Amino acid sequence: MKLNYGTLALLAIVIGYFLGHSHAPQWTIMRIAGLCILIPSFLLFVIARMQLGQAFSVQARASTLVTTGIYSRIRNPIYVFGSLSIAGFFLAANPPSWLLCLAVLVPLQVYRSRVEARVLEEKFGEAYVEYKRHTWF
């Protein structure tokens, strides 16, 4: 299981932001809620990315059908936990108006998941259809 440079860069940006802005944070309910969403969802995002391994690609490709780990319950955990991480970050960073970005991001993720589903179903056929029956999103 290999973690790619993009995921590591994202982690560095998030950590850097909070270290750079942690000199005197106001611990508001929104900041605490944001961190409570951000931390576990980002960890699950990283785990999902690691479990996907070499099957990861930016464009929809069907090299391997990953059905273990987090993928045994959620078909698109990178989309789910990535979106939750972004929402948590925006809440914790304290520009809640940025949550409006999710109005664009979530439909985009749903669209991408449908494109991927078509590609995977073409490649893996009934195995993918059966996998879809037992997993969420």
Provide the residue type at 79 as one letter: Y
Residue 30: its pLDDT value, please?
Answer: 87
- How many C-beta neighbours within 10 Å does residue 48 have? 22
The pTM of this model reads 0.79
**In which domain, by residue range, is 10 found?**
5-133
| Token couple for 60 | 């929809």
Does the pLDDT value for residue 134 go beyond 70? Answer: yes
Are the C-beta atoms of residues 90 and 101 closer than 8 Å to each other?
Answer: yes
Percentage above 70 pLDDT, the chain: 85
Number of domains in the chain: 1
